[in-house]
Amino acid sequence: MRVVEIKQPGDATVLKLAQRSIPVPSADQILIKVAAAGVNRPDIMQRQGLYPAPAGASDIPGLEVAGTIIELGANVGQFSLGDSVCALVTGGGYAEYCLVSATSILPIPTGYSFIEAASIPETFFTVWHNLFDHGKLKVGESLLVHGGTSGIGTSAIQLAKAFGVCVITTAGTPLKCDFCEQLGADLAINYHEQDFVAAVKDFTNQQGVNIILDMVGAAYFPRNLKCLAPEGRLVQIAIMTGAKTELDLWSVMAKRLTITGSTLRSRTDEVKAQIAQKLLTYVWPYLESRTIKPIIHSTFKLSDAAKAHQLMESSQHIGKIILEIT
């Protein structure tokens, strides 16, 4: 099979096509013939040598795929050969065939293409787990999402609005801010032109927001604390500007704040199975009705994975970037 390998840590040019043997599923795995795979920020970090694959996972990048089941492990009974599915994977997505734990597989929403389906797992698993499981987001609360036009951002805006949440987001251009508001955001703040702390406080009558979903990290941390209302929650899911920052403990104590976060890739199959079931129950109906829909910016051939990475690193995209495999 054709795969994309990371020859050594570096820029996008280190991604190279290679040939490998088609993997064989264990008793609890499924082999998927991949039609499309999502490109995500963790793939960039892995390529840079900053986010190695967990022990036992494939070293091939790619955390989400959509395709057709062609082989079942001996213990797998809930799926059939030929089923069209999408899946969250711990690695191996940039390939023509991919091994997947049976617990991380979901049926493709009715009417969706493989390209659309490949844009769902990584973002929706992440958003649901962090906002609703960790963050305890509730109807009537307010949410600040940084990076509203990213794959995570576009998913978080739509999902939160579907569940009755007031959504504020940040983006880097007027065009991106307009897109976020068309997607449902109640307020989009251009962080190049506005102080997002002041804008959040003005919009919330100086109260602040109940929860923040942040991918920026160190550069935003002190300002995020200022944006939170009493009993507010900061949920950290990435650290694009670094991991180390100063913490004003008094602000945490005075407003009774909660700071949490997670990485999903290394979580157990049992945890991912629980998230998958919640998505199937609570989110799939919205996807199938197109109340929520994946936002796809562009697709690339597997051989053009480097170009896909370059586009993501440019931050010129709105929504998801997909590799079309077959």
Instruction: Convert the pLDDT of each residue in 163-207 to its tens digit.
Output: 999 999 999 999 999 999 999 999 999 999 999 999 999 999 999
Q: Tell how far CA 196 is from the center of its chain.
A: 23
Q: Is the pLDDT confidence value at 77 over 80?
A: yes
Residues 111 and 128 in one domain: no
* Domain boundary pick from 237, 261, 285: 261
* Domain boundary pick from 224, 243, 261: 261
The region of weakest confidence among 32-46, 61-75, 104-118, 241-255 is 241-255
Tokens of 243: 């991991």
If one counts the domains in the chain, the total is 2
pLDDT score, position 78: 86
CATH, residue 291 = 3.90.180.10
* Domain boundary pick from 243, 261, 279: 261
pLDDT score, position 265: 87
Angle at 104 between CA 239 and CA 268, to 5 degrees: 60
User: Is the pTM here over 0.75, yes or no?
Assistant: yes
Residues 255 and 270 in one domain: no
Q: Is the pLDDT confidence value at 17 over 80?
A: yes
Helices (H), 228-320: 249-255, 269-278, 284-288, 305-314
| pLDDT band per the 50, 70, 90 thresholds, residue 266 | confident
Residues 242 and 143 in one domain: yes
Residues 135 and 254 in one domain: yes
pLDDT score, position 291: 96
Torsion 92-304-175-181 (CA) sign: negative
Q: Is the pLDDT confidence value at 286 over 80?
A: yes
Residues 179 and 203 in one domain: yes
Mean pLDDT of the chain: 96
Residues 16 and 138 in one domain: no
pLDDT score, position 297: 97
- Render pLDDT for 110-133 as a digit per residue (tens, 0 to 9): 999 999 999 999 999 999 999 999
Average pLDDT over residues 146-160: 97
Tokens of 246: 């100063």
pLDDT score, position 28: 93
What proportion of the chain, given as a percentage, has pLDDT over 70? 100
Tokens of 176: 């991106």
Residues 310 and 218 in one domain: no
Q: Is the pLDDT confidence value at 326 over 80?
A: no
Please compute, for residue 15, the number of CA atoms within 13 A of its CA located in the half-sphere on the CB side: 26
pLDDT score, position 264: 86
pLDDT score, position 13: 97
User: Structural domain of residue 210, as residue ranges?
Assistant: 124-261
